[in-house]
Structure 1
Amino acid sequence: MNELFPIYVKLAQIQTLLVGAGPVGLEKLQAMLTNSPNANIHLVAERIDEEVRAFVRGKDTIRTSERAFADTDIEGIDLIVLATNNPTLNAHIRKLATKNNVLLNVADKPDLCDFYLGSVVRKGNLKIGISTNGKSPTIAKRLKEFLHELLPDEIDETLDLMSQLRDEMKGDMKEKIQALNKHTKTILETKRYDSPN
């Protein structure tokens, strides 16, 4: 049973530490910045790959430190992502994160994680997170591709119209919710029946 609680974090409003700057570190950076282009990230690694260096070039909210991790790197940090292949370092940072109440993600080590970086379907303002509870990132990736194709490109226009409608509606919250539920049910039914077989 998947007991994870899904949340969407405003990475531009918190401080994230990423340890490791190889191919996995690049993948984590890309995931974070694709979803939160203004994320505040401190990248620490003994060696920063040239691809990582090129990816962060010109990004003002990314700070890099090409050196070994220091315990003081955790100060003022809200979230940690580890992309190292050093089990000893990972275990050490796990202890620091627990002691300092900082949430931690360790690449490919579900048992060390407080949270997972799931696959994300994104079309304009719509984001759908997919979690397999750490069991199969490959399945999550396939579902992401499927849902991306399934969702109409016009979904963002629909979201804008719904936002405008919500702002213009009168009445109490319960009445608004009932009206919006009725309206969106009609939209989804129309899309489903109009779809080609």
Structure 2
Amino acid sequence: MIPLALDPSRVAIALAGTGPLAVRRLTQLREGGADPMVFSPEPDGELAQLAGGRLVRALPDAAALDGIGLLYVMGLGPETERTLAELARSRRVLVNVEDVIPLCDFHSPSVVRRGDLVMTVSTGGRSPTLASLLRQRLESLFPEEWAERLRTIAAFRDRRRAEGASMSEVARETRDLIARERWLP
């Protein structure tokens, strides 16, 4: 596995599916800053409401996939999911079919967000339960105040760089700040 952090403003993301897994994934994508197209021939009320104007009440065809870089698929049944994954790959779109490892080009890690601080855990799709348990542990180790802590660290870094401090000085002073504040055990 090669872990990456993806900028959703640079890569078009879409979701094809229905049901609670589609709602959960759409929510996660939105939390990450994405505003994906949602393809769902028969969306339930919650998915339709959440997708809003980004909902297409059909599965994506080849032309729709041409503008997409990443596609999440779930809740459509094995044959439809396999066919859609093959079509997407033929258009050079990376695919993740929820809980079907052989049809996945990538896996989405379990995520903890504290403002701009993003921590992830991945098991390569082998154990979502373990990834979830580890995510919960990270949530307890890094509570919500870490969003403000990161803003403080970033402001300190920006100020010191503007004053002409070298990267090594800024790194050392940042470690000192974190130690002085006792933010890490």
Unaligned runs of 5+ residues in structure 2 are: none
Q: Normalising to structure 2: TM-score of the pair?
A: 0.85
Deviations 1:119-174 (A, max 9, x none): 101112211011011111111111111111111443223322322232232558xx
Q: Normalising to structure 1: TM-score of the pair?
A: 0.80
The residue aligned with 2:21 is 24
* CA distance, structure 2, for counterparts of residue 129 and residue 85 of structure 1: 27
The residue aligned with 1:63 is 54
Aligned length: 182
Superposition pairs of residues 38-187 of structure 1, within 5 angstroms:
39-57=34-52, 63-168=54-159, 169=161, 170-171=163-164, 175-176=166-167, 178-187=168-177
Contact 1:80 1:102 in 2 (8 A): yes
- Residue identity over aligned pairs, in percent, reads 27
The residue matched to 1:116 in structure 2 has which SS? coil
The alpha-carbon distance between structure 1 residues 112 and 70, as it changes in their structure 2 partners (threshold 3 A), is same
Unaligned runs of 5+ residues in structure 1 are: none
How far residue 33 of structure 1 moved from its aligned partner, in angstroms, is 0.9
The alpha-carbon distance between structure 1 residues 146 and 71, as it changes in their structure 2 partners (threshold 3 A), is same
Deviations 1:71-103 (A, max 9, x none): 332121111110134222222222222222211
